């Protein structure tokens, strides 16, 4: 159970890091699910070169997703917010269509392509590295590519999670956007804070019963309406007012 | 070109045109990419299946799909978009559209509409007409006629009536609209209901054609609708619908004459088309920003 929750956290955080565009916090990227699928497809396609090595497959999957992420990010820099959403969503939809058409992804060859399923410890280490890269690149031109790197790595680590249709694509985007918005989009720590809620708690609510998706959707909408700046901003404001009161008391 | 391929493309084009018309109006009037429309599509399809199972006539199934999607759209705007609009948070509106899709999935699960179902289609749908050597089924004719009617109705309602003017006034400046006597909390939800109804009709038409029901919008329909939207001027229902028919014709012709042609290539071509459309569209904004800066 705990292991499953850790993997949910890893997957949600990787997706959340792609929805998070620190230089433009009012922009939401919907390319996360696409980068995840792209990482898995490219690692699968290059499995012959990797000779079953997880590290080689991770390097291939994550770096190819990052490369595409940099190109997409450079192309989208000057776009209006609404067209940014259209372009990133179209990217995800096309990559997911490719993934669902690709025989390797469909016919259970996934097990051959990814012979060494990663341990939880390996997953945590890879994600920590990705978070570090995202933090270092947060305000540079590589920021979009760094998010794609994390999603690509998650695609290699969790090939079964790759979206293979519009329904799973939108469910993954819900998690990505939920992680970024609930946590906060102004700092890398926002997605870290939002992932346990949107990545672990929400999926548990969804599978709890037939009405689970309704409750999860309503909770997400309530969070978007009442917590638009995310939990991190609330924590910062609370700490600021506490600090101010302490300073006033000392004076 | 084979007349059968053209008839098939007209049907596919009708479904794509309804989705692209709704998407372009939403982008123009509401100013965001509404992914709840994907949910409205499957809701329309699910209701069509429910009514088909009871043996309801085609027009009732279409109305049921449109009505269910319209109610969902009204509630979505009233309770999710309205508060976000007051904060001018277009990014969160996109996010709310995703959450609304999740709610629709839950609704389908609660009422057990999400199970894969296969229904025998009535012979009426497969009745064949022949006009001047051009053969088509009744369903294809119904799809095209419904698409034209729905697109014209949407265009007239949003761009040619006082209601449409009211919608834009209520979205641009709710306070001023309220001073003019408009119900700023009722008019935009009504417009969203109309937009979702058009998508719901698309879903219902698609479900009439499909032998079995699965809760998903075909990715190719979604991508083609986005491509048509990006090439048409924003808010131009007619051009978006025409482009949808052209795209459907191109896709069906390629699939018919070159069966080996992979759908992956088609999808990538459409992605490139979307990228070009987005790039062309973003130029005036960039120029305006430069002007403002200078």
Structural domains in chain B plus CATH codes: 3-293 (1.10.3470)
Cβ(A30)–Cβ(A117) below 8 Å: no
Least confident piece of the model among A103-112, A196-205, A215-224: A103-112
DSSP character at residue B126: G
Instruction: Tell which wins on pLDDT, B121 or B282.
Output: B282
**What band does B100 get if pLDDT is binned at 50, 70 and 90?**
very high
Q: To the nearest whole number, what is the mean pLDDT of chain B?
A: 85
The 10s digit of each residue's pLDDT in B199-217 is 999 999 998 877 666 777 8
The interface predicted TM-score (ipTM) is: 0.88
What mean pLDDT do residues A33-53 have? 82
Judged by CB atoms closer than 8 Å, whether chains meet at B101 and A174 is answered as yes
**What band does B147 get if pLDDT is binned at 50, 70 and 90?**
very high
pLDDT at B119: 58
B27 to chain A, minimum CA–CA distance in Å?
A: 8
Distance CA(B276)–CA(A218), nearest Å, equals: 36
Judged by CB atoms closer than 8 Å, whether chains meet at A224 and B99 is answered as yes
For residue B259, the SS3 value is coil
**What band does B287 get if pLDDT is binned at 50, 70 and 90?**
very low
Q: Which residue of B has its CA nearest to A19?
A: B95
- Cβ-Cβ contacts under 8 Å, B279 against chain A: 75
Instruction: Tell which wins on pLDDT, A120 or B160.
Output: B160
Backbone dihedral region of B120: left (phi > 0), alpha (psi from -120 to 50 degrees) or beta?
A: beta
- With 60 as the cut, is the pLDDT of residue B150 above it? yes
Its CATH class, for the domain covering A2-250, is mainly alpha
Instruction: Tell which wins on pLDDT, B210 or B10.
Output: B10
The 10s digit of each residue's pLDDT in B247-276 is 999 888 888 887 766 777 888 888 898 988
What mean pLDDT do residues A64-90 have? 87
Cβ(A46)–Cβ(A65) below 8 Å: no
- With 60 as the cut, is the pLDDT of residue A49 above it? yes
What mean pLDDT do residues A183-200 have? 85
- Cβ-Cβ contacts under 8 Å, A103 against chain B: none
DSSP H helices, chain A, are 2-19, 32-45, 47-50, 54-76, 81-101, 103-106, 110-113, 120-136, 143-157, 166-183, 189-194, 202-208, 212-226, 230-250
pLDDT at B284: 52
Least confident piece of the model among A93-107, A229-243, B117-131, B221-235: B117-131
What mean pLDDT do residues A105-129 have? 67
Judged by CB atoms closer than 8 Å, whether chains meet at A101 and B262 is answered as yes
Nearest to A214 among B106, B217, B264 (CB): B106
Distance CA(B116)–CA(B228), nearest Å, equals: 30
Domain positions in chain A: 2-250
Nearest to A82 among B90, B102, B215 (CB): B90
Hey, what are B116's tokens?
């894969």
Judged by CB atoms closer than 8 Å, whether chains meet at A87 and B79 is answered as no
Which residues are CB-neighbours of B247 under 8 A, at least 6 positions away?
B13, B16, B224, B227, B228, B270
**What band does B98 get if pLDDT is binned at 50, 70 and 90?**
very high
- With 70 as the cut, is the pLDDT of residue A144 above it? yes
Judged by CB atoms closer than 8 Å, whether chains meet at B278 and A225 is answered as no
- Cβ-Cβ contacts under 8 Å, B218 against chain A: 166
The 10s digit of each residue's pLDDT in B108-132 is 888 876 665 665 555 445 667 776 6
- With 50 as the cut, is the pLDDT of residue A133 above it? yes
A217 to chain B, minimum CA–CA distance in Å?
A: 5
Instruction: Tell which wins on pLDDT, B146 or B216.
Output: B146
Residues A149-177 as b or e (16 or more Cβ within 10 Å = b) = bbbbbbbbbbbebbbbbbbbbbbbbbbbb
A173 to chain B, minimum CA–CA distance in Å?
A: 7
Judged by CB atoms closer than 8 Å, whether chains meet at A215 and B106 is answered as yes
A250 to chain B, minimum CA–CA distance in Å?
A: 38
Q: How far is CA A211 from CA A133, B103, B107, B179, in A?
A: 39, 9, 7, 41
Give ∠ CA A189-A192-A196 in degrees, rounded to 5. Answer: 150
- With 70 as the cut, is the pLDDT of residue B278 above it? yes
Q: To the nearest whole number, what is the mean pLDDT of chain A?
A: 82
Judged by CB atoms closer than 8 Å, whether chains meet at B35 and A170 is answered as yes
pLDDT at A220: 94
Distance CA(A125)–CA(A133), nearest Å, equals: 13
Judged by CB atoms closer than 8 Å, whether chains meet at B226 and A89 is answered as yes
- Cβ-Cβ contacts under 8 Å, A83 against chain B: 278, 281-282
Judged by CB atoms closer than 8 Å, whether chains meet at A89 and B33 is answered as yes
B128 to chain A, minimum CA–CA distance in Å?
A: 33
Judged by CB atoms closer than 8 Å, whether chains meet at A28 and B274 is answered as no
Q: Which strand (E) or helix (H) includes residue B213?
A: strand B212-213
- With 70 as the cut, is the pLDDT of residue A183 above it? yes
- Give the highest mean pLDDT range of A23-27, A64-68, B50-54, B56-60: A64-68
Pick the residue of A37, A83, A164, A229 with the most B CBs within 10 A to test the interface with B by mutation.
A83
Nearest to A91 among B105, B263, B271 (CB): B271
For residue B134, the SS3 value is strand
**Percentage of residues of chain A with pLDDT beyond 90:** 14
pLDDT at B242: 95
pLDDT at A96: 87
- Residue carrying structure tokens 């759908």: B263
- Cβ-Cβ contacts under 8 Å, A91 against chain B: 271
CB-count exposure of residue A227 (10 Å: 0-12, 13-18, 19+): middle
């Amino acid at each position: 159970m705990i292991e499953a929750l850790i993997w949910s956290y890893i997957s949600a955080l990787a997706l959340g890091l792609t929805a998070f565009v620190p230089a433009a916090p009012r922009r939401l990227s919907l390319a996360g699910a696409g980068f995840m699928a792209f990482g898995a497809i490219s690692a699968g396609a290059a499995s012959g070169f990797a000779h079953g090595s997880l590290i080689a497959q991770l390097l291939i999957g994550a770096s190819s997703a990052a490369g595409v992420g940099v190109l997409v990010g450079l192309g989208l820099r000057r776009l209006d917010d609404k067209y940014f959403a259209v372009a990133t969503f179209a990217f995800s939809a096309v990559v997911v269509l490719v993934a669902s058409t690709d025989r390797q992804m469909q016919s259970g060859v996934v097990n051959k392509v990814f012979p060494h399923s990663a341990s939880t410890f390996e997953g945590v280490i890879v994600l920590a590295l990705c978070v570090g890269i995202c933090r270092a690149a947060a305000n540079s031109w590589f920021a979009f590519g760094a998010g794609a790197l994390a999603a690509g790595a998650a695609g290699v680590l969790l090939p079964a999670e790759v979206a293979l249709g519009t329904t799973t694509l939108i469910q993954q985007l819900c998690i990505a956007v939920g992680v970024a918005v609930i946590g906060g989009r102004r700092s890398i720590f926002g997605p870290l804070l939002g992932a346990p809620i949107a990545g672990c708690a929400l999926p548990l609510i969804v599978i709890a019963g037939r009405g689970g998706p309704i409750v999860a959707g309503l909770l997400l909408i309530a969070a978007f309406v009442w917590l638009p700046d995310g939990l991190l901003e609330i924590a910062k404001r609370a700490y600021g007012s506490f600090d101010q009161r302490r300073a006033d008391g000392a004076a | 070109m084979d007349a059968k391929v053209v008839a098939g493309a007209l049907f596919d084009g009708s479904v794509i045109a309804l989705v692209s018309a709704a998407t372009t109006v939403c982008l123009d009037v509401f100013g965001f990419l509404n992914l709840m429309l994907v949910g409205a599509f499957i809701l329309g399809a699910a209701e069509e299946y429910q009514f088909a199972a009871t043996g309801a006539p085609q027009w009732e199934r279409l109305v049921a799909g449109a009505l269910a999607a319209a109610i969902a759209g009204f509630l979505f705007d009233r309770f999710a978009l309205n508060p976000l609009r007051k904060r001018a948070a277009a990014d969160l509106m996109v996010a709310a559209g995703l959450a609304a899709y999740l709610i629709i999935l839950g609704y389908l699960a609660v009422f057990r509409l999400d199970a894969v179902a296969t229904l025998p289609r009535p012979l009426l749908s497969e009745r064949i007409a022949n006009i001047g050597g051009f053969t088509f089924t009744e369903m294809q004719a119904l799809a095209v006629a419904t698409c034209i009617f729905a697109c014209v109705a949407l265009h007239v309602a949003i761009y040619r009536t006082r209601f449409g003017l009211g919608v834009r006034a209520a979205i641009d400046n709710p306070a001023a609209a309220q001073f003019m006597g408009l119900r700023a909390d009722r008019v935009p939800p009504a417009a969203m209901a109309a937009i979702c109804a058009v998508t719901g009709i698309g879903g219902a038409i698609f479900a009439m054609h499909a032998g079995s029901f699965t809760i998903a919008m075909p990715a190719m329909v979604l991508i083609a609708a986005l491509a048509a939207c990006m090439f048409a001027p924003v808010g131009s229902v007619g051009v978006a619908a025409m482009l949808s028919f052209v795209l459907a014709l191109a896709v069906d012709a390629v699939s018919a004459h070159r069966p080996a042609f992979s759908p992956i290539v088609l999808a990538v071509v459409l992605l490139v088309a979307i990228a070009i459309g987005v790039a062309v569209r973003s130029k005036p904004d960039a120029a305006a920003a430069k002007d403002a800066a200078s």
